[in-house]
């Protein structure tokens, strides 16, 4: 069972590595990222993750 889970996560991490974060995202600190209002039409405030 653990082998199956590890394989699934490995596939997911490969996909995430290829996609990466959006180019407009700004790293504020180690745990905080910020999306500008230009990220998506209709956004009026910054998005923080």
Phi-psi map region of 20: left, alpha, beta (phi>0 left; psi -120 to 50 alpha)? left
Is 12 within 8 Å of 27 (Cβ atoms)? Answer: no
- pLDDT by residue (tens digit) across 11-42? 555 444 556 677 888 889 989 999 999 888 89
Residue 5 banded pLDDT, cuts 50, 70, 90 = low
**In the chain, where the domains are located:** 22-49
């Amino acid at each position: 069972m653990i082998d199956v889970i590890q394989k699934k996560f490995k596939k997911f991490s490969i996909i995430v590595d290829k996609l990466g974060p959006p180019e407009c995202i700004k790293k504020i600190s180690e745990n905080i990222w910020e999306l500008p209002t230009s990220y998506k039409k209709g956004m009026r405030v910054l998005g923080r993750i």
